Amino acid sequence: MPDTLAVFGGQFDPFHWGHDHVIRQLIPRFNQIIVLPCAHPPHRAVSSTPFHHRLAMTQQATAHWPNVRVSDYDAHHSPNWALHTLEHFQTQYPSATLTLVIGSDQYQVLHTWYRIDDLCAFAHIFVVPRDTHPFTNPHIPVTAKVTHCAAPPRPLAATALRNRWAPDAVPEAVANYCHTHGLYL
């Protein structure tokens, strides 16, 4: 298999079984996976949960996978655009083919992202299903290299978990971390 790197960003507020499901879809397809909690995403409101907690939850939830690495890059480069993040990881992994992993909800608005033509020329896009959001966006550059994940979605929203905590909706390590630090209770 050629050297492939998936970059999977998100709020991870909290990291839940839906995120775990996405990573399980990525593992057989990519040599390395970078999970990137976003500190100050440019397309949405900043999380009310401090970054260091979201980073720690994500690290604990993914620690058992040897080819998955959690990066704090965004904490030091925020707000940040996806293209700049991918350019950074290309310097870290110069021989790797980069793929940006996004949900179908973000795919619908991907054409509004910063320098979308350059982003699509720079990296592949891997779209995972999210709830009932369709896999369509007629505004994406025709040259974009887009792959749609065929796995069914795991319908779970972090917003719902923040509003009504359900420890069984997250990996045990995350539930324990949240309990210890009084998060979402």
Confidence at residue 72, expressed as pLDDT on a 0 to 100 scale: 97
Contact between 10 and 37 under an 8 Å Cβ cutoff? The reply is yes
pTM score = 0.95
Q: Which two tokens stand for residue 185?
A: 């209770």
Q: Is 11 helix (H, G, I), strand (E, B) or coil?
A: coil
> Using omega within 30 degrees of 0 as the cis cutoff, is the peptide bond preceding 14 cis?
yes
Pairing of the two strands 32-37 and 68-70: parallel
What's the CA gap between 7 and 71, in Å, rounded? Answer: 10
Q: Is the dihedral of CA 2, 147, 80, 119 positive or negative?
A: positive
Confidence at residue 75, expressed as pLDDT on a 0 to 100 scale: 92
Confidence at residue 131, expressed as pLDDT on a 0 to 100 scale: 77
Contact between 25 and 170 under an 8 Å Cβ cutoff? The reply is no
DSSP string, 84-131: HHHHHHHHHSTTPEEEEEEEHHHHTTGGGSTTHHHHHHHSEEEEE--T
Print pLDDT tens along the chain (185 aa).
569 999 999 999 999 999 999 999 999 999 999 999 999 888 778 888 999 999 999 999 999 999 999 999 999 987 789 999 999 999 999 999 999 999 998 999 999 999 999 999 999 999 999 877 777 899 999 899 999 998 888 888 888 889 999 999 999 999 999 999 999 98
